[in-house]
Structure 1
Amino acid sequence: MFVKLSCMFIITIVIVIAIDMTVIIFQIGQLVSCKIMAADWSTLPLDLLIDIAMKLETLEDFIYFSVVCRSWNRASSLIKDQWKPIRMPWLLLAENTNNNPDCVRKIFNPSNNKCYKLNLPETLGARCWGSDYGWLAMVDRKLNVRLLNPITKAEIHFPSAEAILDGRPYDKNHHESEENYINWILRAFLKRLIVLKVSENEFVIVVIYGHFDHLAFAKHGDKSWTSVFVNQDFGSWMFDVVAMDGYVFALYNDASLVYWNIEDFQGHEFVKPMDYSLSKFEMFEEFKSGMGTLYLVQSGCDLLMVLRFKGEVTNSDDETDYNYDIVYETFSFSVYRLDLKNRRWEEIEDYATLFVGGNTTMSVSAKFLEPNLIYFTDDEYVLSEFVRGLGGHDMGVYDPKCDEIRQFYEGDDIRAVYCRSTWFIPQL
């Protein structure tokens, strides 16, 4: 082999005398590339391919690995259920309704600032909420409720959103048209859909809905939604729900908590919560007026409450002179940890990277992300109807060290009526 290579090299050098230098480079490149291409990577032993695949960290790398060839795809398919990527939220950007016949949705990865495109006609016109488990919780224009994995296209179906209205004093005849009725449910009636994992292979959807923030849940296969007893004191409303350590916690606008055993969300019986008595928490005017938002986040063994401060935007000292391209914006955050021993909220400054919005909340510790930052998406649906360019603009990353907000995505495709930008952690 060495003799053959030497002869080819000598022949090439001889030809140099008569031809241009660019041809030399081309011929040498061909020689090198032929030797590299001679290696058949598909013949690597299966156990070695599995070891390599198990060491991959990101979903992108795993997908790239699986499409190299048949043997690599087989290796990835054998370990797909055991392989776990680093938990990394992706952002499903707002739907593009202009010249988009294939219903392509862009997904943004903040860890590498890359965008990917997926055909997701299932999300057309729907309102979506993300989750930690790879699912998007969706309510479409026909009021169907389902979980959708945007990567694998797997689906889990739940009772219709219209079934939540059973026994409630809401009449569709009060609306001018069927279209207005659907718009009202998607924009005003449904506050949040939250995905809870109640067992290894079973998920439930918890719905916060109505003017006084009622709570209901359903499992796959249910024909109806099961109501959950909540605090209905005047002026008190629910902001968020999270599952942690076998319990389901609900957070109210006065920072109070109630909780249930997670087993209560696996039956079909009306359940009453247990009160989690806390020391008095000082209320903020932003939350009294409804301009602020509270989030409940599990972070490791801790339960965090994130306060988001928002305000209306005006062009002058005249409080009615709005900038109708913006109308509202976020200007600050605070983070509190639940002190289990003393039953009170204590403000903290050191925490993992937090992701919040009207769709889902999550805490992530990863080498790709800087800690103590809060990524947020637009969660305002009341004032958004006054925005000339639709809602979705109130999105960025908050840095508490300098008390500043900066943009993490520079594209202009973030505005939509219902399906705003939505955090989810992808899974195969």
Structure 2
Amino acid sequence: MSRVLPEDVLLKIFVALEVPDLVRAGSVCSSWLHAYNCLWKLGSWIRPQTPSLIYTTKSSGASDTGFFSLQENKPYTLSLPDPPIRCRYLIGSAYGWIITADERSELHLVNPITGDQIALPSVTTIEQVKPIYDSNGAIHMYEYSRYTGVDGYLDPPSVFHLHKLRDYIFYKAFLSSDPSTGNYIIVLIHNPYWQISFARGGDKQWTWLPYHACYTDCVFKDELLYALLADGEIHAYNLNDPLVKPQVAMEGLKGCPPPKMYIAQAPCGDLLQIWKVPEYSEQDAEDVSDPDLDPSDDDEYFSVSEDG
């Protein structure tokens, strides 16, 4: 007589699996498939996963993507919904989802494992973008204005073809939580001048944060968005506050900041600033004025930020 494992036991087993093994488990039988689907719908199944690589090749179809499992050292081919994945730009990833920009410069969330796709608010609802219509009422160009909430207009507007705007406007994208739950926020760092806009799941337009520009990176922690400025200053935003004004969580650097800076959450929960500085040649090293900076050190070093 066969016995079926209770679903709660299956779920405890499934949450410990790597993604490829989890997908295989869902194909064993109807009860395992039901547990597998429940886990995806909950959006809370994710355990720390071994990174996987996403890529496309000319030999595969335009809607096919390669998925290389580093844990298994094995490639897979996955078919994703249109628009064709090969024609999209990838500007971010989190919680098993990727954020892509298609040939019309429109943004989509895509889950490469399940094939689920979520259309994000139109690029025409970003503050600095306006649609240009043809004689038939269809959008055929975009007007892109270069201004910030602090400095106003810095350059005259430009006009771009639909596929070209994404080359100029998108920088990075970030997710607050798993979009499978429907309760998430997506944040864009976009041009001109690395400004921030955000949207909640189900929103029809982007909300612009006009208080500052020159943001280089973001991270969500404790329901706050921490945004890193190019000078090292960190701002904390409560995106659930109707006023959504920044609070300074860490002051900026005096003098010349490193050329590349990032922000990340350490396993202990603290926020880290990651500075990337170039390696110096022996000739360059003679010109280094700071005796504490050893050009033989690794080109990345870490600084714990105040997190408010």
User: What does 1:36-47 correspond to in 2, within 5 Å?
Assistant: 43-47=2-6
Separation (CA, whole Å) in 2 of partners of 1:338 and 1:173: 38
CA-atom RMSD in angstroms: 3.5
TM-score, length basis structure 1: 0.53
Q: Where in structure 1 are there 5+ consecutive unaligned residues?
A: 1-39, 288-292, 313-330, 344-428
> What corresponds to 2:261 in structure 1?
294
Match of 1:55 among 13, 20, 23: 13
Q: Is contact 2:145-2:158 (8 Å) kept?
A: no
Separation (CA, whole Å) in 2 of partners of 1:67 and 1:210: 44
Work out whether 1:217 is the aligned partner of 2:198: yes
Residues 155 and 335 (structure 1 numbering): CA distance in 2 closer, same or farther, change over 3 Å? same
Q: Secondary structure at the match of 2:145?
A: coil
Larger relative strand fraction: 2
Q: Secondary structure at the match of 2:227?
A: strand
CA deviations over 1:103-130 (Å, ceiling 9, x no partner): 3211223344332221125423111234
> What corresponds to 2:248 in structure 1?
275
Work out whether 1:113 is the aligned partner of 2:89: no
Separation (CA, whole Å) in 1 of partners of 2:277 and 2:97: 28
Q: Where in structure 2 are there 5+ consecutive unaligned residues?
A: 131-143, 147-154, 281-297
Separation (CA, whole Å) in 2 of partners of 1:248 and 1:78: 29
Match of 1:101 among 55, 61, 71: 61
Structure 2 counterpart of 1:224, which letter?
Q
Larger relative helix fraction: 1
Residues 277 and 296 (structure 1 numbering): CA distance in 2 closer, same or farther, change over 3 Å? closer
Separation (CA, whole Å) in 2 of partners of 1:107 and 1:205: 24
- Higher-RCO chain (CA-CA 8 Å, sequence separation at least 6): 1
Match of 1:128 among 90, 94, 99: 90
> What corresponds to 1:84 in structure 2?
45
Q: Is contact 1:250-1:257 (8 Å) kept?
A: yes
TM-score, length basis structure 2: 0.72
What percentage of aligned pairs have identical amino acids? 21
Separation (CA, whole Å) in 1 of partners of 2:209 and 2:34: 46
> What corresponds to 2:25 in structure 1?
65
Q: Is contact 1:204-1:219 (8 Å) kept?
A: yes
Deviation, structure 1 residue 239:
0.5
Residues 61 and 227 (structure 1 numbering): CA distance in 2 closer, same or farther, change over 3 Å? same
User: What does 1:18-417 correspond to in 2, within 5 Å?
Assistant: 43-47=2-6, 51-52=9-10, 54-56=12-14, 57=16, 58-78=18-38, 80-81=40-41, 84-96=45-57, 98-101=58-61, 103-120=63-80, 121-122=82-83, 123-164=85-126, 165-166=128-129, 169=145, 174=158, 178=161, 182-183=163-164, 185-197=165-177, 201-232=182-213, 237-264=214-241, 271-278=244-251, 280=253, 283-284=256-257, 286-287=258-259, 293-300=260-267, 301-309=269-277, 332-339=299-306
Q: Is contact 1:197-1:204 (8 Å) kept?
A: yes
Structure 2 counterpart of 1:51, which letter?
V
Q: Secondary structure at the match of 2:217?
A: strand
Q: Secondary structure at the match of 2:105?
A: coil
Range moving further from structure 2, 215-224 or 132-141 = 215-224
Q: Is contact 1:137-1:195 (8 Å) kept?
A: no
Report how many residues are paired: 264
Greater C-alpha Rg: 1
Q: Secondary structure at the match of 2:94?
A: coil
